[in-house]
Amino acid sequence: MTTSPLSSLAKWSLERDDESDPNGRIYRNSSGEIFHSVTRILKETSASKAHLEAWMERLGVERATQERDVAAERGTRTHNAAEYVLRTAKKISEATAKKKGNLYVDKYNLECVPAPLTKWAIKQTLPSAPKVGLSANGYRRSLLNWIAENVTCIHAIEFAIQHPGGFAGTADFLGNIAGKGPLIVDWKTSFNKRGELLLIDYCDQLGAYSLGLKHLCGLQAAGGIVVVARRAGPPDIRHLSELELRGAEARFLDRLSDYRSSLGL
């Protein structure tokens, strides 16, 4: 097998710096260069920022903070369950494929496990996935069921990106969905159906990760998917073609420019 372009993802060389900016996330490399968090850039440049501020004013700071913290904890627990399933299934499927001798390399030079074996490994892993408590259980079920039905190859989970434009972040998943890929996928949770402004933020987040992936690995993803797990029923899904993902990349760069200007950079 030739060296996978994803081998560059392991070369994470940034450290989080909370002392310089305790109200946000910045990272520094060994030379002291600063990289701003993708999520913070999106938050500060979001068209939905005014709606969020109005919501907090309507509920009051204390109640709004409590609801936000509950939602964040719910999201973290659901993410952790998905991460466990995918990491474990990746190990099982790759080990089994190596024994059977049916690993193959796709046109992107990525090592792949056959789809039926990947789906089998995910199914084997689901029963041992971490429990999340009653408040998050529906979201966990919504997301894990979608993963079991749709993921057909697992390339990378919770992978870190950085970019010379001065931003960094962690993407949830890179893999094949229903036989198509590689796609960048981001997991979300929401009690309510998300409005268009927030969905644009989510898509632009994929654009940032796509830019980082290209910088580190020279790999252009074939598209992206935002999966918004719901308390009941299947997730809400937003698909991005490769062209739409490139559009999200361009929008994120525009937002990055606005963000840097607001900081006087």
Q: What is the model's pLDDT at position 206?
A: 98
Q: What is the model's pLDDT at position 3?
A: 75
DSSP, res 231: S
Rounded to whole angstroms, the Cα distance separating 218 from 212 reads 9
Fill in the amino acid letter for 85. Answer: V
Fill in the amino acid letter for 74. Answer: R
Kindly list the distances between the CA atom of residue 146 and the CA atoms of 18, 152, 186, in Å, as whole numbers in the listed order: 36, 11, 13
Kindly give the confidence (pLDDT) of every residue in the chain, 265 residues in length, as a single tens digit, with 9 standing for 90 and above. Answer: 567 889 888 666 788 887 777 666 888 887 888 999 999 999 999 876 655 555 466 666 666 566 565 666 787 899 999 999 999 999 999 999 999 999 999 999 999 999 999 999 999 999 999 998 877 899 999 999 999 999 999 999 999 999 999 999 999 999 999 999 999 999 999 877 765 666 899 999 999 999 999 999 999 999 999 999 999 889 999 999 999 999 999 999 999 999 999 988 7
**Residue 217: strand pairing partners:** none
Q: What is the model's pLDDT at position 56?
A: 60
Q: What is the model's pLDDT at position 225?
A: 97
pTM comes to 0.90
Positive or negative, the CA dihedral 111, 80, 160, 229 is positive
Angle 213-218-220 from CA coordinates, rounded to 5°: 65
Q: What is the model's pLDDT at position 74?
A: 80
Q: Strand, coil or helix: what is 204?
A: helix
Q: What is the model's pLDDT at position 47?
A: 79
